[in-house]
Amino acid sequence: MIEKQVVQIRNNMEKKNTEELLRIWKENDREQWSDEAFEAIKQLLLDRGETLPDQNKILQVQEDKEDHLMGKYANILSGVGIILAGAFISNIEASGDWPLILSYGAYAVGGMEYI
């Protein structure tokens, strides 16, 4: 946890009323709010004399983030694969070796290569 961020977030959160901070604390939405934000909210609520209520159960946010990253990188890598395959097919097409192109499952239609 980065203490400098906690201080900055706390300064911004001081404007919120206690009811709103309690709502954020209880909801425990870790996708919307960072660990630093929850620390700042905790400090503010305690400073205001509030007892911290129980928070909602944390869902598998870390797994969701990892799945999101995997999907993001998979899309990038599949795009790279398509570009490389297109370059490969274009080179074969330039050589006029159509049987080789078709053996890879590619079809040239109107000058555009499709895999």
Give the per-residue pLDDT at 40. Answer: 97
Q: What is the pLDDT of residues 56-90, one digit of tens each?
A: 998 655 555 556 556 655 555 555 555 555 555 55
Q: Could you tell me the residue ranges of all domains in the chain?
A: 3-47, 61-114
Contact 52, 21 (CB under 8 A): no
Q: What is the mean pLDDT of residues 35-58?
A: 95
Plot region of 72 (φ>0 → left; ψ -120 to 50 → alpha; else → beta): alpha
Give the per-residue pLDDT at 32. Answer: 93
